[in-house]
Structure formats: C-alpha cells, structure tokens
Amino acid sequence: MLPYKSLIQVDRKAAVTLYIQVCNQFIALITNGTMRPSDALPSSRVLSELIGINRHTVRLAYEELISQGWAESIERKGIFVLSKLPILSKNKLPESNRDARPNEAFAWTNRFKGAAPGESLQRSGLAIDDGFPDVRLAPVDQLMREYRSISRRHYGKNFLKYGSTKGSEHLRASISGYLSQTRGLVVSTENMLITKGSQMGIYLASQLLLEPSDHIAVGMSNYKTADETFRHAGASLLRIPVDHNGMDVDYLEKALVSTKIKAVYIIPHHHCPTTVTMSVERRLKLLDLAKAHRFAIIEDDYDFDFHYDNKPYLPLASIDHNQNVIYIGSISKTFAPALRVGFMTGPPTFIEAAASLRLLIDRQGDTLLEEAFAVMYDTGEMERHFRKSLRIYKQRRNLFCQILQSDFNDVLDFKVPEGGLAVWTNFVAEIDLVKLSVDAFKNGLYVGNGSFGRNESFSTNAMRLGFASLEEKEMVEALSLLKKTVQQPHSTH
Ligand SMILES: Cc1ncc(COP(=O)(O)O)c(C=O)c1O
C-alpha cells in the first residue's frame, strides 16, 4: 500500500472543504502516475484512520472522484482508479520536474534573459534597502477609508465595471493639477495614461519607440531594469557617462555624429544608482539635441517629490515645447511600492498607442484604488503626505550621513545626496560586497551586495544604502550591525 499518511495531507484551516482536499490529492496521485488505472484505493475505514479524518468525509471524497470520472466502484470489491484512464507515465514529484525533458514549445523561455524577477522584500527584520519609502508613513487608513466609502456609494458601483485603459479620468485630472502646481507641467487628461508604477511606463515607451537595431542612449551606470526593458525591445544601448551633473550631454552630442539614436533615457532626479541630479544647463542642452536630432526623451522622474536642499529643478517635460519628452512618474515610489499606481504623459497620439498596447496585457488598473487616490489628491492628503515624508526623510538622510561620516570613514566615501532615498557609497577595494552582504545577513541585517548597480560597462565597488525606511533607532542599530560586519576579518578579501 502507498504511504497515504504522507501522500494525503489535509489542512483543517483551509477554505477548501476536507473531502475536496482529499479528492484533489487523489487526482494529483493519478495524474502524476503514482496511482495507475485499476489500482485500488484504500478502504474508507483504513484511510480515515491513516489520515485522521471522519470516514464519512472519505466516502464523500470517493463519491466525488467517481462523479468526476477518476475512479469507479466495483461491487463487493471496492473503489479503483478508473480502468479506462490512459496510462500516465510516472512523473517525479514537483521539485524534480525541472529535470523533465523540456517541451520545445517553451524553448523561447529558455532563451529569454530579462532582469531577474523581483524578489519579495516583504520580510521583517532590519534591512538597509536600495532606497525605498517608509510604508509606515503612508496614510493607508485614509486611502482605504476613501476606497471603502467610494465602493459603497451608488455611483461607486460603476467603478467595478470595466473602465478606461487609460485609467481613471478623475485621477488623471487630479495628477495633472498636481503636476501643474508642483512642477509647471501642464498636461490634459488626454496626455496622460495611468500605469501600474513607472516600470509599466518604461516598458510601454520602449515598445512604442524602439525597434530592433535602434539605439537608445542610457547612462554608463543605469537603472538595470530599464536597460533590460530596452534590450527586450531589441534596441542596442549607447552608454553615456554620468558625472556629478547627470548624463554628460556633451559626450552624447559627439556620439550622435556617428550613431543615430531613437531615444534617451534619463533619471534626472536622482540618477539610479548614483543619486546625482541633472543640471539645468544639461537639461536644456538635451532638449535642444532632441529637437535637432529628432529623438525622444524618456524622463523617469520617479524621485521628484523627494528633493531636500533646494527646490527641485523643473522636469525637461515642463520646458519642452516640441513634444519630444515622455514623462514618467510613480505613486508607488512615494506612497507604497505594493500599491501599483503611476503615470506617463506624452503627446496624445503616443498616449493613445500606449493605452492600446497596455490593453494587450492589462485591460486596466484598479479603478477604485485610482479613484481613492484621486480623492486623496483633491483633499490635499497626498501633498501633506509628501511634505511630511520630505521632512522626515531629510532628518533621516542627515543622521544616516552623519553616522557614515563618523563610523565608516575608513571604509567608504560618499556625497550627501540632494534628494532621493539612498546614499551612493563607494567602498574601499578590500571590502568584498558580496561577502559583506552574506555576513551581514548572518548578523541579522539585510543589505544588498551592489550587483544591481553594475553592468557590462560600469563596475565599481559601490552600492546604494537606503536610509528612508529606517526610523532613528532602527538606523542606529542597522548601521552598528553593518559596522560590526565590516570589522569582521572575513568581510575582506
Ligand atoms: C529609476 C527607477 N525607475 C523606475 C522604478 C520602478 O518603480 P515603480 O515601482 O514605480 O514601477 C524604479 C524602482 O526601483 C527605479 O529605481
């Protein structure tokens, strides 16, 4: 007899009834070849004793198996796997399925080399992240109140139906008002698509602007997922150096003599990974180049709202009179990353095409959530949240940099970032960042290993250290664990 005690496991807390759980697990044993046609099932008495459930529940499970056509009852003999089922070759258990000979239909998945899928960062415990917001500051209760209140209203029921692929008209109007007040960017709702975070905007723009063999200019160091997105569109990357004033536009100008480009991707506030802000002079020159060489600018301004020391510079999109700029922003980065709402602005025909493309993979966003965010903008709640976060993040940045300065002076150097949620730290060559990350984890601290910031043309012994999501006490503790790890002899080569 098969070891049913370990093969059939029920979970009394699960939403699925017990007899269906038993039935489904028998089906799995049949389809993976563990049970074969005409094999006998254990009697209801035996199985109920083995797995500790009521005999009646086992009978219900067997009846279900019979009614679904997996088993048959033979008088005075018992219950058997249906004899007429095709013989299924015995598959190994799921973890071994990787060894199975791949079906050629899936061949492309083996060739596809995108960025590694995002890992869950929903862990508890101390972490120095890549520069993410402190989700505890987000007025989520308020947002959820609005969400519930809209869903209860008569007109709110409409938001449960299919809505516009471009996103809630109300949210587009609210964000458009906010963009105009905060950064002089005047766009109508026709010029805007609500996305699921900036990444969707980057993807849609890349698919619409780039064709195989096109070139796109990107920073020598760059946001890795954007690089992969452009490569996925078939484009080649033209790497342009990035210094303390952002992308070196003079270098780009020279490169344009020999290479025609379709687009430039920039993160002017604040470059990822190095956190620098692009100067006004370079912004203006880049706009001129776009006009002269007829390329598009993809402006990823996910960090605009968090600029500490002076007023943030106007986005290129606000000064562009030639409709060459696609402007991308995200509520996910300023509120909470798991709430996937962002936006993209551009010429109406571009936005129309982006909506048509988005439709192919995602009919629309969560309209109720978008409506709730719209109310949060209209009531000034979003602005209050940004102002409060800005004040707190600035304090955190200052403390974080003070501690780095005083306690890590001998192992790293950095510039205090004017904005954003992370510090770009250059470690001395003796510190092996991969080992540092592993050792820190053993000491109870998550910290990256710098690999996300590197690429084929940019490899420094550096990484982003995010300060925004750490309260003062957590920050002190996290940095003291980092220091302890740095001082361990095995953290070095
Ligand atoms: C430069 C940059 N752009 C875009 C994104 C994606 O943000 P979102 O969560 O809004 O998709 C990130 C996320 O880390 C980023 O660093």
From 195, 196, 223, the mutation candidate for ligand 1 (largest count of ligand atoms within 8 A of CB) is: 223
Strand segments, DSSP code E, in 241-278 are: 242-243, 246-247, 263-266
Q: Where are the domains of the chain?
A: 4-81, 126-133+384-491, 151-382
- The sign of the CA dihedral 110, 113, 118, 119 is positive
Q: Give the model's pLDDT for residue 115.
A: 74
Burial of 465 (0-12, 13-18, 19+ CB in 10 A): buried
- pLDDT tens, per residue, the chain with 493 residues: 899 999 999 999 888 899 999 999 999 999 888 999 999 999 999 999 999 999 999 999 999 999 999 999 999 999 999 999 887 766 555 555 555 667 788 777 777 777 778 888 888 889 999 999 999 999 999 999 999 999 999 999 999 999 999 999 999 999 999 999 999 999 999 999 999 999 999 999 999 999 999 999 999 999 999 999 999 999 999 999 999 999 999 999 999 999 999 999 999 999 999 999 999 999 999 999 999 999 999 999 999 999 998 889 999 999 998 899 999 999 998 999 999 999 999 999 999 999 999 999 999 999 999 999 999 999 999 999 999 999 999 999 999 999 999 999 999 999 999 999 999 999 999 999 999 999 999 999 999 999 999 999 999 999 999 999 999 999 999 999 999 999 987 555 4
Burial of 132 (0-12, 13-18, 19+ CB in 10 A): middle
CA-nearest of 286, 216, 213, 220 to 249 is: 286
The class level of CATH for 151-382 reads alpha beta
Burial of 156 (0-12, 13-18, 19+ CB in 10 A): middle
SS3 category, 471: coil
The class level of CATH for 126-133+384-491 reads alpha beta
How far does the centroid of ligand 1 lie from the alpha carbon of residue 124, in Å? 22
Q: Give the model's pLDDT for residue 92.
A: 53
Pocket of ligand 1 (CB under 6 A): 197-199, 223, 267, 272, 300, 302, 330, 332-333, 337, 342
Q: Give the model's pLDDT for residue 94.
A: 54
How far does the centroid of ligand 1 lie from the alpha carbon of residue 399, in Å? 25
How far does the centroid of ligand 1 lie from the alpha carbon of residue 449, in Å? 19
H/E stretch holding 239 reads strand 236-240
Which atom of ligand 1 is nearest the CA belonging to 330?
Answer: 10
Which atom of ligand 1 is nearest the CA belonging to 132?
Answer: 14
Q: Give the model's pLDDT for residue 493.
A: 46
How far does the centroid of ligand 1 lie from the alpha carbon of residue 197, in Å? 7
Q: Which residue has the tokens 């496991």?
A: 9
Q: Give the model's pLDDT for residue 342.
A: 98
Please check whether residue 354 is in contact with residue 205, taking contact to mean a CB–CB distance below 8 angstroms. yes
Which atom of ligand 1 is nearest the CA belonging to 200?
Answer: 11
Which atom of ligand 1 is nearest the CA belonging to 199?
Answer: 11
CB atoms inside a 10 Å sphere around CB 266: 26
From 330, 339, 421, the mutation candidate for ligand 1 (largest count of ligand atoms within 8 A of CB) is: 330
CATH number of the domain located at residue range(s) 4-81 in this protein: 1.10.10.10
Structure tokens at 41: 């099932």
The protein residue whose alpha carbon is closest to atom 7 in ligand 1 is 198
